[in-house]
Amino acid sequence: MSLKVLFASSEVFPLIKTGGLADVSGSLPSALQNLGVDIRVILPGYPSVLEQLTDIQHLAILDNLPAVNEVELLLGTIAENQVKAIVVKSALLYERGGGPYADANGQEWQDNGVRFGILSKVAAILSSPNTPIKDWQPDIVHCNDWQTGLTPAYMKLVDHSSAKSIISLHNMAFQGCYPYEMLATLDLPASAFLMEGLEYYGQLSFLKAGIYYADAITTVSPGYAQEIQTEAFGFGLQGLLASRGHEIIGILNGIEPEEWNPETDSYLPKNYSHSKLAGKKQVKKALQQKLRLNIDANAPLLGIVSRLTDQKGLDLFLPIAQNLLDAGCQLALLGSGDNELEIAFRDLATHNLGKASVTIGYNEPLSHQIMAGSDLFIMPSRFEPCGLNQLYGLAYGTPPVVNRTGGLADSIVDATAETIANKTATGFIMEEVSSTALLNATQRALTLYRTEPKVWRQLQKNGMSQNLSWDKSALEYLDLYQSLLESK
Ligand code: ADP
Ligand code: GLC
């Protein structure tokens, strides 16, 4: 009988997405399914989820839940990859405009604790003797980030689950901390409100709960697995993480070849590959046209697609942007987030018509077009658990300029005389977190781009010929599932 895995996530591409968590929750379950795992994802019934899933059928009503009367469980299929999805349907909790965590103005929903507490609770019930779905009970519940962090706690403390739990850490910066009263609201035992338990500086922490009670912990790159055990990257949980340090497994994310492949990408005006790079020039021209940049094949086009938050380090780019634009570069930025950064980048574009284009918002097609049409991808993140955009940059022949951290350091090989000669170079790494270091790394890239076209082409090919698929990483998750079940 095949292994049954319930994969719990608050966002799953293409149903709903704010960032890389959705990409992973869309593509990893599909890769595991291809390996023979009987996997179902569980996620909230946001409007876009109810609209996009196919073959939706009623599964059960769950009542007696904390904080809400009842929710309905639906079963649907993600058309793109045929992965089955269990939807937690509740008009009260999930059927509203805006995004999964915030309203259309970016204001966080006041009831996020309850919304994701219930998601966590339902995932735990489905792995317990009280599940209403008797014909499909998971052996493993695979949780992701704080939004499903309470699941392992419910499984152990309340629901007497016999399944094993895993928490995958995609970002320690978001922890889901709520006042003590939330414990009662969510029917969690006050006796577990301890330092060795659910308590974190006087509050209930969803993420800590996951880390404390899960049977296994993974992070999305080996580098990040080490970093989060230190004060600089652990966001307060480094001590707990270090106490389970030898158990933390870092597995680098893969990418979905059906979605992110320049040979087949339907968002591009022209497809291309590493043996036919000419098409990339046409994509660049079309992008310049679309974004009202000067049509200039020789102007190095710098691409940025990002959440505009402190994590991504794009404030480091602002002081050097004018310098780069004056030196003949162009900029195509797509992103949204902190108001100050949005305003600063908008100003930059206003003062540099034809040279800098800034699109504030979320735009899936444009994100692909920038990735393909740019010559260099700029990603100076202060920390980056894995990062998918630099991987997309590799696949699209757009070498990334990155900081030496987390998954960026694990996936990019800096271009040096040696790595250029042995054909392993794939991008440019900053030596420290500063504008000067970002400028230096970018200028190293520009020099190669402008003066050594053959070397540049080789660099593109080195990136494009990497195997970035889930093949290897999905097997590592499968090994982990199997070893957890053997340890039962
Ligand atoms: P994170 O999850 O921390 O934001 P990742 O690099 O792992 O960083 O993943 C970001 C994902 O979100 C990528 O798929 C990227 O293309 C996408 N993305 C980020 N901002 C935007 C945007 N404004 N419009 C479209 N896609 C975006
Ligand atoms: C988080 C991280 C990002 C990672 C993504 C998917 O959003 O910030 O680095 O790639 O999760 O694991």
Q: Which atom of ligand 2 is nearest to the CA of 385?
A: 9
* pTM confidence score: 0.97
Please say whether the beta carbons of 396 and 271 come within 8 A.
Answer: no
Confidence of residue 15 (pLDDT cuts 50, 70, 90): very high
- Residues 479, 454 within the same domain: no
Does 79 reside within a domain?
Answer: yes
**Smallest CA separation from ligand 2 atom 3, residue:** 387
Domain count, the chain: 2
**Smallest CA separation from ligand 2 atom 11, residue:** 170
- Residues 213, 343 within the same domain: no
Q: Which atom of ligand 1 is nearest to the CA of 336?
A: 23
Please write the tens of the pLDDT for every residue from 136-173: 999 999 999 999 999 999 999 999 999 999 999 999 99
- Residues 14, 120 within the same domain: yes
* Domain of 246, in residue numbers: 4-254+471-486
**Smallest CA separation from ligand 2 atom 1, residue:** 170
Q: Which atom of ligand 1 is nearest to the CA of 334?
A: 23
- Residues 313, 453 within the same domain: yes
387 in contact with ligand 2, CB cutoff 6 A:
yes
pLDDT above 90: residue 106 = no
Q: How far is CA 204 from CA 171, 242, 262, in A?
A: 18, 20, 45
386 in contact with ligand 2, CB cutoff 6 A:
yes
User: What pLDDT does residue 73 have?
Assistant: 98
Distance of CA 175 from the midpoint of ligand 2 (Å): 14
Q: Which atom of ligand 1 is nearest to the CA of 361?
A: 23
Distance of CA 18 from the midpoint of ligand 1 (Å): 7
Question: Tokens representing 243?
Answer: 């106490």
Give percent of the chain with pLDDT exceeding 90.
98
User: What pLDDT does residue 422 have?
Assistant: 98
What H or E segment, with its residue span, contains residue 59?
A: strand 54-63
Please write the tens of the pLDDT for every residue from 335-371: 999 999 999 999 999 999 999 999 999 999 999 999 9
Q: How far is CA 123 from CA 151, 214, 255, 449, in A?
A: 6, 13, 26, 50
267, 272, 273, 278 alpha-carbon torsion, rounded to 10° = -150
Q: Which atom of ligand 1 is nearest to the CA of 253?
A: 7
Of 101, 220, 306, 312, which is best to mutate to test ligand 2, by the most ligand atoms within 8 angstroms of its C-beta? 220
- Residues 355, 438 within the same domain: yes
Place of tokens 């591009």: 268
User: What pLDDT does residue 382 have?
Assistant: 98
**Smallest CA separation from ligand 1 atom 2, residue:** 20
Mean pLDDT across 252-280: 96
Please write the tens of the pLDDT for every residue from 49-72: 999 999 999 999 999 999 998 999
Does 38 reside within a domain?
Answer: yes
pLDDT above 90: residue 324 = yes
Does 83 reside within a domain?
Answer: yes
Residues in contact with ligand 1 (CB, 6 Å cut-off)? 19-21, 23, 305-307, 334-336, 362-364, 367, 386-389
Helix axes 435-451, 318-326, angle to 10 degrees: 30
- Residues 286, 243 within the same domain: no
User: What pLDDT does residue 69 have?
Assistant: 86
Q: Which atom of ligand 2 is nearest to the CA of 23?
A: 6
Note if the bond before 14 is cis, omega within 30 degrees. yes
Does 268 reside within a domain?
Answer: no
- Residues 175, 54 within the same domain: yes
Does 347 reside within a domain?
Answer: yes
Does 262 reside within a domain?
Answer: no
Distance of CA 482 from the midpoint of ligand 1 (Å): 31
411 in contact with ligand 2, CB cutoff 6 A:
no
Distance of CA 367 from the midpoint of ligand 1 (Å): 8
* Cβ within 8 Å of residue 134, ≥6 positions away: none
- Residues 314, 373 within the same domain: yes
pLDDT above 90: residue 487 = no
**Cα–Cα distance for residue pair 404/372, rounded to 1 Å:** 23
User: What pLDDT does residue 488 have?
Assistant: 64
170 in contact with ligand 2, CB cutoff 6 A:
yes
- Residues 238, 383 within the same domain: no
Q: Which atom of ligand 2 is nearest to the CA of 168?
A: 12
Distance of CA 306 from the midpoint of ligand 1 (Å): 5
User: What pLDDT does residue 245 have?
Assistant: 86
Does 259 reside within a domain?
Answer: no
Distance of CA 384 from the midpoint of ligand 2 (Å): 7
- Residues 452, 482 within the same domain: no
- Residues 127, 178 within the same domain: yes
Distance of CA 352 from the midpoint of ligand 2 (Å): 32
- Residues 82, 215 within the same domain: yes
Does 127 reside within a domain?
Answer: yes
**Smallest CA separation from ligand 2 atom 10, residue:** 387
pLDDT above 80: residue 1 = no
User: What pLDDT does residue 127 have?
Assistant: 98
Please write the tens of the pLDDT for every residue from 459-485: 999 999 999 999 999 999 999 999 999
How many C-beta neighbours within 10 Å does residue 129 have? Answer: 11
Least confidently predicted of 110-119, 184-193, 239-248, 329-338: 239-248
User: What pLDDT does residue 246 have?
Assistant: 87
Confidence of residue 378 (pLDDT cuts 50, 70, 90): very high
Give me the CATH number covering residue 199: 3.40.50.2000
